[in-house]
A and B are shown apart, each in its own frame.
Chain A
Amino acid sequence: MSDSDISNMSEMSMIQAIHSALDVMLARDPNVLIFGEDVGYFGGVFRATDGLQAKYGPTRCFDTPLSEGGIVATAIGMGAYGLRPVVEIQFADYILPAYDQLVSEAARLRYRSGGEFWAPITVRAPYGGGIYGGQTHSASPEALFTHVAGLKTVIPATPYDAKGLLIAAIEDDDPVIFLEPKRIYNGPFDGRHDLPARPWAGHEGSEVPEGHYTVKLGQAAIRRPGRTVTVLAYGTMVHVSLRAVEECGIDAEVIDLRSLVPLDIETIISSVNKTGRCVIVHEATRYSGFGAELSALVQERCFYRLEAPITRVTGWDTPYPHAFEWDYFPGPQRVAEGLRRVLES
């Protein structure tokens, strides 16, 4: 973390922290501009850009045609010119029309041009389930991006990280996919949908500096130190994992990856070498998910320290089914089962 202005702290939800990051960067850098569907006058369907057009003017924050491919193509061209566009894809489920732009163009511009052109763009997209969004508002597509050489993929789990990581992403000279776990926009949802929803207020991660600061891309955070098993998680699943660990009474070490690319491999290795056990948790489908990469990395680097097979707790290999929200969502009970599995073997 670099802390150029952390004197004034405020309690913020994650969506407020994201809004604050955009506000800070619009004020700070005239080359930053924001566009996407409904982000201008209206302020975005999740309110991430609420009031920013009125504050900074219509050329700094504006609405676009319903064209994810067009949005990202436009951003790349602007990035090549020297701007730092921040674009919103309304739901990560809808990012696929832009996939060609991200894979064939944004990710390769610098490489294929011998360093002549690059696209310092940030693509924000709310992702993940737990909101009864059905197949088209719940997806976790992170592995589609981590598989692509040249893209960075970042996922915050707290308001503090959301703001610091988003500013770091905007200031980064490589293209960054910034996936926002929308289920925790307004509170640290831990998977216990049967209990009343909690707001961010009171959570230590909701203390957010009002000004500019960054959380460096590629540094994981140990959310709970422990000795018996390492839990690797990101986004909403950090909170679900913490809940599961608490309910099981297990001395687990819970690591919030924060950024999948670049990945903080050192923190992962040193934790698993210490605990000898590893559970990987994500909402996305299991097969070829990011957990498969994590599992391979841990196996390659920690094999002789492992005391049990690595376990994955993930969404099922199906589309996200509307009526079976909590059967699909890998909640604390499934995480707890995974923890017991690696501890008992």
Chain B
Amino acid sequence: MILLWLAGSVAAGLILRSEIDEVFDSALQEVTQRILPLAYSEILNSDPPAAGESPIQRLPSVLPHQEQITYIVRDGEGRVLLQSHDADPAAFPALMTPGFQDLHGLRLYTEAAVQGTLFVTTAEPISHRRQAVIEAVGMLLWPLALLLPLSQIGVWALVRFALRPVQAFEQEIEARGHGDLSPVNVIALPRELAPVAGSVNRLIARLQRALEAERGFTASSAHELRTPVAAALAQTQRLIAEVPEGAVRERARTVEAALRQLARLSEKLLQLAKAEGAGLLAETPQDLAQVLGFVLDEFRDDPDAATRLTITLPSSGVLLSRMDADAFAILARNLIENALKHGAADEPVSIVLNDDGLLRVSNGGAVVEPETMARLKRPFERGGSSATGSGLGLAIAEAIVAGAGTSLELLSPVPGRASGFEARVQLPGIPASR
């Protein structure tokens, strides 16, 4: 559009210049023809110059002004007989040829009279004409100088406004990850982009199906792995119950201990596989306070846990969050197990889930050094603890929170205390109405 405007301005300038030349030439010719009889009469009626006086008559101006058109009257031999007050004879040619002529930056027009014995030449600076064209084209161009930044700002604002739903769409897609595969909201999108959103949602649905199949495989693997371990453990326990006290029973107890260890480790590896898989965010919020209740119920037969666990649930008794219930159960179970195992045995383990969805699990014990804290989330890292454990608890918790788009914060000492350890997770997707 700008180029078009510029081309139009150039064309207008060229046309204007041609028209101005035509009009100004006509004016120059008209002036010359008007001056000619007047000059002739003036020369005839004037007295001959006195001795030592210049034969050139210079006509004074009536009022002071800048003379755009000057003239000179010469005789047949080129002597100047009459001139306008601003005329410079040197700029005029010595020999006049009737008609138009460009010389020394002047546009000249000459008329001859009295059988070639009197010549009148009028002159006008060519720069005057050029100036007129430049000013006219300039008048055409200056709105462009204003329009250009204005239109740029307008276009920028318009594009920004028009792209707002596209940006929101981009952020929606960006927010999807292996933890969140819910469909993208397409209601506010421009009609042109709606098919793209439809394709994205179909892709997400295909991905979801693939990941659900993977999850189903993990669940089936868990079933296939757990059942033989359960069978071996149960048979060993029956053996312990049925054989008399002695070497065989002791050996059976050793097998039982090994099977328990195998069960724990396979359990943790399955949890880690699940944590690194998909579906860590549910499409609709779920009550995680109820899920936490189920997790705590798992510790009811552990006499150590029964005496050490202190629990604070949300005041309403309900906490809605988009974190998947199973993922949250694994997270909470691992944080509680970690606190029970590695915290001071004679100090309570506090579990707090507040109304804003902040889960805090804290235990007593010596302050954990910062360099040890940095390593705790790595698999098989025990942070110098002598307690027996898989060393996978915090790695599983970290994988879950990362997949769910939140973070696991480890603090030591517990804020407000001189010792202890606290794990904090801000649960994702808490409904805004809370």
Verify that A and B bind, or say they do not. no
User: Which B residues contact A (CB, under 8 angstroms)?
Assistant: none
